[in-house]
Amino acid sequence: MLQPLLPTILEQRIVLASGSPRRQEILKRIGLKFEVVPSKFEENLQKSSFAGPHEYAKATARGKALEVADRLYSQVKKPDLIIGADTVVSLGSDIIEKPADEEDAFKILKRLNAKTHEVVTGVVLVVPSLTGTEKFATVEFHESTEVCFGDLTDEMLKGYVATGEPMDKAGGYGIQAIGSSLVQGIHGDYFNVEGFPVYHFCKKLVEIYRERQLSSAPRTDQDC
């Protein structure tokens, strides 16, 4: 989808405000070149103050992206695009993030077992403002994917926890690796479950760059 725009995009300074190796790998697969500047934003927002998981994920992504923007927009070479993202797992109205320890990981997986849960990624893109009244503008969106776990025994779940894979992942599993054996099926964007909604991101990026190309195009008499 990005191929017609890649010559322009590859000349620009793109920053990923995340240290997630999964997000880095996904963005590399689609041909983007970018810097990694992990955000220092403290991810401690009060979950109960948000209308739903998508609003919570977007707010956290916004915090990550804007923290990096505040640092980098003081530099001479300002970023053309900063990408902030946050992925959470929700079961009903409960938001489930990364497990605190192995016992917590088992409890999380036990809750998800034989049920369908939702993986939500909030994404916030920071771009230079077109109006000149602000330093930058933001574009926000979210993606949701339903994931169904198989009916697994405690022995299976504990065996998975023992691999160590659940410890740095929202919901306590990684669909791209050993955790794929827990998943019976999904409905929606697979890459969103990995941690970044590729299609939705590319669609938004095309919209942003086309809008900027139109705004910078020379005006003619017919435009008046």
**Residues labelled catalytic:** 86
Contacts for 105 with CB less than 8 Å, ≥ 6 apart: 99, 161, 166, 167, 172
Task: Give the residues across from 128 on adjacent strands.
Answer: 136
